[in-house]
A and B are shown apart, each in its own frame.
Chain A
Amino acid sequence: MEREITIALSGNPNSGKTTVFNAITGARQQIANYPGVTVEKKFGHIRHKDSDIEVVDLPGTYSLTAYSLEEIVARDFLVNERPDLVVDIVDASNLDRNLYLAVQFMELGIPLIIALNMVDVAESRDIIIDHRQLSALLEVPVIPMVARSNKGIQELLDKAVEITGNDPQWRPAVISYGMDIDQGLNKIEAIIKTSKVYDRKYPARWRALKCLEGDSQIKELLKRDPDLGEKIDGICRKIFKHIMDTLEEEPEGIIADHRYGYITGITKKTVKRKIESRLNLSDKIDRVLTNRIIGPLIMMALLYSIYVFTFSASEAPVIWFEAFFDLLKRATVSVIPEGNLQSLIVSGVIDGVGGVLGFVPLIMFMFFSIAIMEDSGYMARVAYMLDRVLRWFGLHGNSVMPLVISGGISGGCAVPGVMAARTLRDPKERIATILVVPFMNCGAKLPVYAVLIAAFFVEHKARMLFILTLLSWAFALFAAKIIRSTVLKGPKTPFVMELPPYRLPTLKGLLIHTWERTWQYIKKAGTVILGFSIILWLMMTFPGPSVEQSNFFGDQRKQLERSFLTSPDVRKLVKDEKDLAELNGLYNSYVQAMKKNDTALLDNLSTRPLSFLVRTVFFLESGKFSGQEADGNHLNAAARYINYLREMIDTDVREQQAALKGTIAGWIGQRLETITRPLGFDYRTNIALVGGFAAKEVVISTMGTAYSLGVVDPDEPGSLSERLRNDPGWDPLLAFTLIIFTMLYVPCIITVIMIRKESSWSWAGFSIVFNLVVAYLVSLVIRQGGLFLGLGV
C-alpha cells in the first residue's frame, strides 16, 4: 500500500545529520565540521518499501529549550508539522551529551529512533556501546551506524517504515526530577489538562516542565488564558522559592542536573571503556595547533599558505578562461557586423559576464581551502583562539565564521556570510557581525584588486593581497567596535562552544561544499550581473553623441587628412584620398604580417606600391627594415605619416570620451565628480562604482567598458591593466585609493537584500549609509595624505 511519511532528522551540531541526510536522499547538502552550520531545514525525498519518505534536515541543537534561532526552528517544526518520526542522530563517541537532546524528545513523546552514529570513532577510542541494552533502558529503538560509509542506513529506513506503519501515538516519557519538582509538575499538569485552552499540541507534562524552566514561549501560550496563567505562575513561584531556599538552585538547574543524572545512570550500564584513554589523537593535535605560542603562528602561516595555494593553483585556469573569452569576442566580431548589436554583445555581455566568470577558478580554490578548514574541525579552533580578540571589538568567537566566509581569507561572499551569522545567539552581536562582514574581501572584489595590482603593484602581488586582507579585518573590527559602543551597545554573551574532534575531510564533502558556494557565485554572474551588464551598457551607450559632436570629430579627421596630404614631401608619394586609403590598408596589413611573422606575406606586400614608404615608417618607429636606404623624401613623408596616425588616434579617444560623457552614465558620473574629486576619481571610475552596487565585479567590467568602448580591435584587446598603467591620469596612489574604496563602500544589492532578510530594512539602509561614509572618509585620508607625502605622480 502507498504511504507517505515524514521523518525529521535531528541531533547535536556536528553529529552527522547532513551526512545521514545525504546518504538517505543522495541530495546535495552542505557538510561542515563546525557546530551549527546548517541553519535552514532542508528537504529530500526517497522511496523505501512502498513508502514515500520525506526527510527533513533540522538544524543542529543541543537542547529543545527554544532560546536560540535553531532551537526555535527545530521545535516549531516538530510541534507544528508533527512529523511521523524523529530520527535523533547521536554521536556515539560523545554519548552523554548527545543523549541530553534525546531525553527531551522522549519527554516530548514524539515517535523516536536513535541513530547511533560514528560508531567507528567511538570504537577507535575504545568506547564500546551495548546498543541493545541502551535501547531496552531508554525504550527507544537504537540503530548503530557509520553514516560516512553508508553503514546502517538501510536498517534505519527499515525501522522507520516499520514504526510508522503501526501509526504510533505520542507517548511522553516521565523522568523524575526529585520530589519537590515532581509534585509541582503533577499539580500543573492536572490544571493544564482540565483547561479549556489545552490544545494537545504539546503534552501537558511537557508544558508544565517548560513553565517550571521559565520557558517564555510556552508561558506566553498559557497566558492566553489569564486565569490559568496566573494559577500556574503562582505554583511556579512557590516551587521556585522552595527550591532556592533548600537547594540554593533554580528549578531549571535542578532539572538539567537530574536529566544528566538519568543519562549517566544509563550510560554506566551500557558503555564500556577498555582503558581510560584520555589523550586521543585529536587532543594531541590540539596540543600543537592551539598551543599558546605556536598556535597563532601556525594559524597565520596556514592562512597565508591558502593565498599562495589559491593564487598559484588558479593562475593557469584563469589564463585559460581569459583566452576563452577573448576567442569568443573575436568570433563574435567576425560574425556580427559592427554596430550597436556587436557592441552590446562584446562590451556588454561578454566583457561583463566574462569578467566575472574569469575568476571562477580563483574562487573555487578559495572555497576549497575554506571547506578543508571547516570539515577538518580547524575553523572552530580559529574561533577559540580569536575569541578574546573579537570580544574586545564587541564581537564573538563565532563571528569568525561569517567573516571568513565573506572573504576573511579573501575570496568569499558576503551573501552566505550574512547567513552564517545566524549561529550567533545574541541579536546585537549578530547584527554587528552582519554589518561588518561586507568589509571583507569577497570574491567579487578580487577581480578589481587583481586588475589594479597587475597595473601598478605587479611585483608584489601575493604580499599586496595579504596586506589587503589584514586591512579588511582591521576595518571590519574597528567598525564593529564603533557600532557596538554606539548604536548596538550591549553585554557580551557566553562563549560556550564545542571543539569538535579533528576529522579527515572526505573528498566528496569538500567537493560538494566547494561546488555549492562556487555555484552561488556563478549563478550571480549568470543572472544579476548579466542583467546589470546590459543595463549598464545601455546607460553607457545612449543617448549617445549629438549630431554636432559627430560632425565636429568628422571635420577634424578631414582636416588632419588634408594637412597630411598638402605637405610637399607627402604629395610626391601620396597624391589623393584614394592613395591615403591604400596606404592605411597596407600599413595595417604589414602590422598583421609582422605580428604573425609571416615572411611570405611580407614578401608579397613588398611588391605593392607605397610599400617602401610603409617600411620607412616602421624603420622610424622601431628600427625595423634597416637594410633599405631611404631617401630624404621618404623619410620626411614617413615622419609626417607617423604624426598623422598619432593625431588620428588621439581624435578617436577624444571622441569616445565625449561620447561616453554624453550618455546617461556619463551624466551621473560627472555629477558625482564634485564629491569624488578629492579622492581622485573621474567620471569613468564613478560610473564603474555606481555599477558596482549591483555587484562588485561590475566595477572592473564597467571600467573595462568605459576605457575600451568603441575600440573593438579583436587583435589588440589590450588588457585593462595595461591601459590604466599607460593612462597619464593614473598612478599607484590612485589605484590604492580605489582598491580601499572598493573594499569598503556599499555592500552589493544581493547582500543588502540578505541583510534586510536577516534583520530589518532600517539595518539594511544603515549598512549602505554607514559603509559609504566609512569608505569615503578612509579613502579621503589615503588620497590626500598620500598626496601630501608626495606619493602621487
Chain B
Amino acid sequence: MKTVIKMREMSDNQEGIIKKISTTGEMGRRIREMGVVPDTWIQIQGRAPLKDPVAIKIRDYILTLRNNEADHILVEIDEPG
C-alpha cells in the first residue's frame, strides 16, 4: 500500500519518492536547486541530536533540511503492514 506523508513524519532509514513540494519563494527555490523535485528517490539518513535538522540521502549525496522545511515536502512511502 502506498501512501503520501510529510517528510518530517518519516522515520530514520525510511525511503520514499518525492511527490510534491508545497512551498514557494526563496525556500522553494533553494530546496529545488538542490535536487529536491518530484519523482526523486530519497532516504532519511538521520537526525541531528535535537531531532532537527534532518539529513536525507538524495541523488548520491547528503542534504540537510530543517523540520519546518521538511514539512513542505510530500513523500510517497510504502505503508508498513
- Residues of A participating in the B interface, judged by any CB pair closer than 8 Å: 62-63, 65, 67, 93-97, 100, 125, 127, 250, 252-253, 256-257, 260-261, 278, 282-283, 286-287, 290-293, 295-296, 384-385, 387-389, 391, 397, 493-501
Bound CA span A286–B65, Å: 16
Identify the interface centre among A283, A391, A495, A496: most chain B CB within 10 Å of its CB: A496
Q: A100-B33, A260-B35 are in contact. Are A497 and B63 (CB under 8 A)?
A: yes
Tell me if B6 counts as interface (CB < 8 A to partner A). no
Identify the interface centre among B47, B53, B55, B69: most chain A CB within 10 Å of its CB: B53
* A494/B30 in contact, CB under 8 A: yes
B28 to chain A, nearest CB (A): 6
Tell me if B1 counts as interface (CB < 8 A to partner A). no
* A495/B64 in contact, CB under 8 A: yes
* Chain B minimum-CB-distance residue to A63: B33
* A286/B62 in contact, CB under 8 A: yes
A74 to chain B, nearest CB (A): 14
* B32/A253 in contact, CB under 8 A: yes
Bound CA span A495–B67, Å: 10
Query: In the complex, how many residues of chain B place their beta carbon closer than 8 angstroms to a beta carbon of chain A?
Result: 37
Contacts of B59 in A (CB 8 A): 94, 96-97
A117 to chain B, nearest CB (A): 14
Q: A290-B48, A384-B48 are in contact. Are A495 and B61 (CB under 8 A)?
A: no
* Chain B minimum-CB-distance residue to A499: B62
* B28/A252 in contact, CB under 8 A: yes
Tell me if B52 counts as interface (CB < 8 A to partner A). yes
* A260/B37 in contact, CB under 8 A: yes
In the A-B complex, list the 6 residue pairs whose CB atoms are closest, starting with the nearest: A256-B32, A388-B50, A499-B62, A63-B33, A96-B59, A97-B35
* A257/B48 in contact, CB under 8 A: no
* B60/A127 in contact, CB under 8 A: yes
Contacts of B53 in A (CB 8 A): 384, 387-388, 397, 495
Q: Is the interface of B mostly helix, strand, loop or mixed?
A: mixed
Tell me if B11 counts as interface (CB < 8 A to partner A). no
* B49/A295 in contact, CB under 8 A: yes
* A286/B46 in contact, CB under 8 A: yes
Contacts of A286 in B (CB 8 A): 45-46, 55, 62
Bound CA span A278–B59, Å: 11
* B34/A496 in contact, CB under 8 A: yes
Bound CA span A501–B62, Å: 8
Bound CA span A43–B64, Å: 32
* Chain B minimum-CB-distance residue to A389: B50
- Interface membership of chain B positions 15-33, coded 1 if the CB is closer than 8 angstroms to chain A and 0 otherwise: 0000001001011111111
Q: A63-B33, A292-B48, A495-B65 are in contact. Are A95 and B26 (CB under 8 A)?
A: no
Contacts of A389 in B (CB 8 A): 50
Contacts of B28 in A (CB 8 A): 250, 252-253
A243 to chain B, nearest CB (A): 12
B35 to chain A, nearest CB (A): 4
Tell me if B14 counts as interface (CB < 8 A to partner A). no
B10 to chain A, nearest CB (A): 16
Name 13 A/B residue pairs within 8 A (Cβ), A-sorted: A62-B33, A63-B29, A63-B33, A65-B33, A252-B28, A252-B29, A256-B29, A256-B33, A292-B51, A296-B49, A384-B64, A495-B66, A496-B63
Given A96-B60, A260-B35, 5 further pairs, Cβ under 8 A: A127-B60, A292-B47, A391-B66, A499-B63, A501-B61
* A97/B26 in contact, CB under 8 A: no
Contact of A385 among B33, B49, B65 (CB under 8 A): B49
Contact of B46 among A65, A290, A493 (CB under 8 A): A290
Contacts of B60 in A (CB 8 A): 93-97, 125, 127
* Chain A minimum-CB-distance residue to B27: A494
Bound CA span A494–B39, Å: 22
A570 to chain B, nearest CB (A): 77
Bound CA span A131–B32, Å: 26
* B49/A260 in contact, CB under 8 A: no
A490 to chain B, nearest CB (A): 13
* A250/B24 in contact, CB under 8 A: yes
A285 to chain B, nearest CB (A): 11
Q: A97-B61, A250-B24, A495-B53 are in contact. Are A256 and B37 (CB under 8 A)?
A: yes
A273 to chain B, nearest CB (A): 9
* A260/B46 in contact, CB under 8 A: no
* A387/B24 in contact, CB under 8 A: no
Contacts of A295 in B (CB 8 A): 49
Contacts of A260 in B (CB 8 A): 32, 35, 37, 40
Bound CA span A672–B52, Å: 48
Bound CA span A584–B25, Å: 85
Bound CA span A494–B40, Å: 21
Bound CA span A95–B60, Å: 8
Bound CA span A96–B59, Å: 6
B39 to chain A, nearest CB (A): 8
Contact of A257 among B26, B37, B55 (CB under 8 A): B37
Contacts of A67 in B (CB 8 A): 26, 29
* Chain A minimum-CB-distance residue to B52: A388
Contacts of B51 in A (CB 8 A): 292, 388
* A498/B61 in contact, CB under 8 A: yes
Contacts of B37 in A (CB 8 A): 256-257, 260-261
Contacts of B66 in A (CB 8 A): 387, 391, 494-495
B34 to chain A, nearest CB (A): 6
Contacts of B50 in A (CB 8 A): 388-389
Contacts of A500 in B (CB 8 A): 61
Contacts of B21 in A (CB 8 A): 253
A98 to chain B, nearest CB (A): 9
Contacts of B27 in A (CB 8 A): 494, 496
* Chain A minimum-CB-distance residue to B34: A496
Bound CA span A125–B59, Å: 13
Contacts of A501 in B (CB 8 A): 61-62
* Chain A minimum-CB-distance residue to B47: A292
Contacts of A93 in B (CB 8 A): 60-61
